[in-house]
A and B are shown apart, each in its own frame.
Chain A
Amino acid sequence: MDSIYAALMDIVGEDYVSNQTEELFTYSKDLGTSEPQWPDYVAAPKTVEQVSRIVKLANEQKLAVVPLGGGLSLAGLALPLRGGITLDLKRMDQILELNEQSRYIVVEAGISHGKVTAYLHKHAPRLMHSEPGAPAAATIGGNLAIHGQGDLAHPYGFNSDMINGLEVVLPTGEICRFGSCAIGNDWYTLHPLPDLQLFLGWSGCTGIITKVSLRLFPCKKFQEQDLFIVQDENLVPEIIYEMTHIGMAEDIMAISQEIPPPFNRLHCILVNISGDSKEELEFKRQLIFDGKLARYIEDGVGGIGAVGQKIERPQVSKTSDWRKGGGFEYVGSIVPVSYYPECYRRGSEISARHGIPYTVLGRVVGSSHGMMFSWTYAFNRADEETVRHAREALHETDRMVLELGGTLWKPAVFGQKLVMDRMDPNTLQMMKKVKHLLDPNGIMNPGNWEVA
């Protein structure tokens, strides 16, 4: 028997390791447009000790290790570009502690967002975490590893800003903790210890996140989504500015899409609000609509699309079924809110060039501090030509974002190179040093964020 396989079997047990074609095939594929990349082994550890042993083994063997959560990041980020071991972390899915008073929950990093949402709904209905719009199977660890954002992004920022502690297996196998948990205390804060946060947003290149203390926030009794529609994209930034001034919303998104046709070229501003009483909800609605949006209605440039819609949590996306094609991928960026009009215009042009109906979305992060803007390109998995078009559209969009002055969010390797080409040389060297210091053998998700 292959000795690495035997060693992995010894660590995780026979059922949770494979080097058979069928598993390798499955883990060679991403949901998006990326070309397949085959691992040599797939293993699904259950404990942090098992992760640590695997990473040590990989160092000895100079084998790549690629952490995988839900595999839903769509940009090939968890594809093993240099083969090696794909570590499916979804068996590390336990809820370790819920502290209602201090509003945090400690979980293993392979837990799904859906499970956290369901758990809180049942055991602590007055609390919520910031849930991304990703399918419910997306993991907490995977989302932090790409600086995700969720449905509390407006009041509280990026999901990676909402943590109170981390446990990480370093690329050399040591298990490290960060935050109050590092000094043996409860997991209630990440600060004020010296900043050692070298793991968030690194796509698993600097270590494997194994435990997370997630901040929880008040979940109010009544929640609704309201919809305001404008035709002129130039109005979107000022409307968002006004709404974020009053700070009544939990999530603000602007969406424009060609399909269905009645919505083509319109900009739908979705606003989530909540209240512990109907009066609180009504008060917030009035501040938003009467206080801020009425004048657009009076001027005949905006209208109410819907009020009081139910909020679906977790959200369910049917985007992949568009034209029955089974696939889509998007470029995400972080841009100033003021870029919305240009992002929309340029995006719809790129879509038109590739024969893909346009879909763009901007989610406000913080009090108008930034916006996650995405351009979605659907394709038909069974038609290689449409996949090629989507891939080219993604690449054009990556370039466009940087030309506009935006930054790419969770870029694929193509986008990472564009970003690093523009990066300040000192910063780039710092990245290289950090990576080398942590990962001397270059085994962690190699090929990603790799400084030449």
Chain B
Amino acid sequence: MAQTQYKYMDMIHRCFRCGYCKFPQDWEDVDNCPAYARHRLESHSNGGRLWLIRAWITGELELTDHLAEIIYSCVACKNCEEKCPLSFSDDILNMVIAARAEMVAQGRIPSPVKTYLKNIQLHGNPYGIGAKKRSDWMQELSIEPFEKQEFLFFVGSEGAYDSRAQHAARALSRLFQKAELSFGVLGNDETDDGNEVELLGEEGLVEMLAEKNIASFNERGIKNIITLSPHAYNALKNIYPRFGGSYQVYHYTQILPNLIQSGRLHPPKLENTTITYHDPCFLGRWNREYTAPRRVLQAIGGSKLIEMDRNRKSAFCCGGGSGNYYTDLLGGSDDSPARIRARQAHATGATILAVACPNCLTMLEDAVKVEGLEGKIQVKDIAELIDGESAS
């Protein structure tokens, strides 16, 4: 049956399936789309997916579980938008998200995605842990609730609930405290930022989450927000204005360089270490911030920063976007994106793989373990590296 409500009907036929969008900037290989790299069948390439969506929208194909998985296997890394030369390229992901929105409306989505959305609906986080436990991560840190401080620290669901990401959240809080930054948190009043919910096509839920967070921000007169996660950064910066919430939003790596430069933070010395940095998609391709995290890393004494071949606009995604760090639709293979990325990082000879995103942190740390690279390369959030204390 044709899907007559689909918003991009007048555009989706324009994909030629020429495959430029599979490549990184320097054309190194056809494998810079994580979904395609994982499956290597055309159905999972960006062009293949757009053609399949069109076939469903026009009624040529039925929506099956397999089709639903293909449509949800895109992790929204934006490599395709960066590389497709055609004039509709800015709307590639919108076309995918609009199809997901139709699927959500019909309740025809893969079950891990259903669970993810249900957990957020019920608990305000994807993990299905009670909203009252949201501030447990900071118990021993004596962090102030936001009152009239300069910045709100928006922790995000991963930093609040995922045990590995909590380490990063704590490290970052310690840094802010050391630098005597005026900041506070929302505690249990914070709810999921909604970035992934938007990408998964649940329009109503995004609105609800955004409105809830916006109400909390406005009640407290919040103007400046720092996020741990680039995903939250993207949501607050680019999605919330749609719902009337406009703030000065920073990713924490954009705050640290000034704190270091002004002498309020003193990065540790890491003698004889080599660090490579993985650009998170929601800081890099989505928001064009490639410099700030590197400035922070360059401030670490005694260490050398080396780049992976795929960096900045060409960075290969860890596969965690679009909720996939939880739904894991690209898992279960040697060529799961995080494993490919872990190998790319290891190939540089670096001993530390620095990340600036809690999703990348968990995805890549798991991948390093599965690849048997533990002891050879450590995955660390930039906040943890600057904090220097062993994470606790």
Residues of A within 8 A of B (CB): 15-16, 18, 20-23, 25-27, 29, 31, 42, 44, 70-72, 88, 90-91, 93, 112, 114-115, 117-119, 121-122, 135-137, 314, 316-318, 320-321, 324-327, 380-382
Contacts and interface: CB of A to CB of B under 8 A. Distances in A.
Contacts of A324: 11, 14, 87-88
The 9 closest A-B pairs by CB, nearest first: A137-B19, A320-B16, A114-B27, A382-B13, A326-B14, A381-B13, A135-B18, A118-B27, A26-B43
B18 A115 contact: no
Given A21-B61, A22-B66, A326 B16 contact: yes
A327 B42 CA distance: 18
A317 B20 CA distance: 10
Contacts of A44: 40-41
B86 A318 contact: yes
Q: Mostly helix, strand, loop or mixed at chain A's interface?
A: mixed
Nearest to A86: B42
Contacts of A21: 61, 64, 66-67
A382 B15 CA distance: 11
B66 A20 contact: yes
Contact of B27 (A25, A72, A314, A381): A314
Given A31-B18, A137-B20, A318-B86, A115 B27 contact: yes
A71 B14 contact: no
Contact of A18 (B11, B17, B22, B41): B41
Given A44-B41, A91-B40, A93-B29, A327 B16 contact: yes
Nearest to B50: A326
Contacts of A71: 17, 42
B260 interface: no
Contacts of B123: none
A79 B30 CA distance: 21
A118 B60 CA distance: 38
B392 interface: no
Main secondary structure of the interface of B (DSSP, over half): loop
Contacts of B70: 22
Nearest to A134: B18
Contacts of A114: 23, 27, 29-30
A135 B23 CA distance: 11
Given A22-B43, A88-B41, A90-B40, A318 B85 contact: yes
Contact of B48 (A26, A72, A326): A26
B18 A320 contact: yes
Contacts of B29: 93, 112, 114-115, 118
Contacts of A122: 26
Q: Which of B10, B28, B64, B85 has the most CB of A within 10 A?
A: B28
A326 B13 CA distance: 6
Contacts of A381: 13-14
Contacts of B67: 21-22
A325 B87 CA distance: 12
Given A27-B42, A31-B16, A91-B40, 15 more contacts: A18-B41, A20-B66, A22-B43, A23-B41, A70-B19, A114-B27, A115-B30, A119-B28, A136-B27, A318-B85, A320-B14, A321-B14, A321-B86, A325-B13, A381-B13
A156 B10 CA distance: 44
Interface string B31-60: 000000001111100001001100100001
Contacts of B22: 137
Contacts of B14: 320-321, 324-326, 381
A131 B71 CA distance: 33
A118 B29 CA distance: 8
B333 interface: yes
Contacts of A320: 14, 16, 18, 86
A90 B86 CA distance: 24
Interface centre among A29, A115, A326, A382 (most CB of B within 10 A): A326
A112 B61 contact: no
10 contacts: A15-B39, A21-B67, A23-B43, A25-B52, A26-B51, A44-B41, A90-B40, A136-B19, A327-B16, A382-B10
B13 A72 contact: no
A77 to B, nearest CB: 15
A135 B52 contact: no
A18 B52 CA distance: 15
Q: Taking each of B18, B29, B40, B61, which has the highest tally of chain A beta carbons within 10 Å of its own beta carbon?
A: B18
B66 A88 contact: no
B20 A135 contact: yes
Contacts of A91: 40
Nearest to B58: A382
A26 B42 contact: yes
Contacts of B16: 31, 320-321, 326-327
Contacts of A27: 42
A112 B51 contact: no
A117 B28 CA distance: 8
B15 to A, nearest CB: 6
A244 B22 CA distance: 37
A22 B40 CA distance: 14
B65 to A, nearest CB: 10
Interface in B47-104: 48, 51-52, 55, 60-61, 64, 66-67, 70, 85-88
Nearest to B26: A118
Contacts of A321: 14, 16, 86-88
Nearest to B39: A15
A135 B74 CA distance: 22
B13 A380 contact: yes
A115 B42 contact: no
Contacts of B26: 118, 121-122
Contacts of B10: 382
Nearest to A13: B333
Nearest to B69: A22
Most chain B beta-carbon contacts within 10 A, residue among A21, A26, A93, A118: A26
A88 B30 CA distance: 13
Contacts of A117: 27
Contacts of B20: 135-137, 316
Contacts of A314: 27
A90 B333 contact: no
Given A321-B14, A325-B14, A16 B41 contact: yes
Given A71-B42, A112-B29, A25 B61 contact: yes
Contacts of B51: 26, 29
Nearest to B24: A118
A125 to B, nearest CB: 13
A93 B85 contact: no
Given A27-B42, A90-B40, A316 B85 contact: yes
A122 B333 CA distance: 30
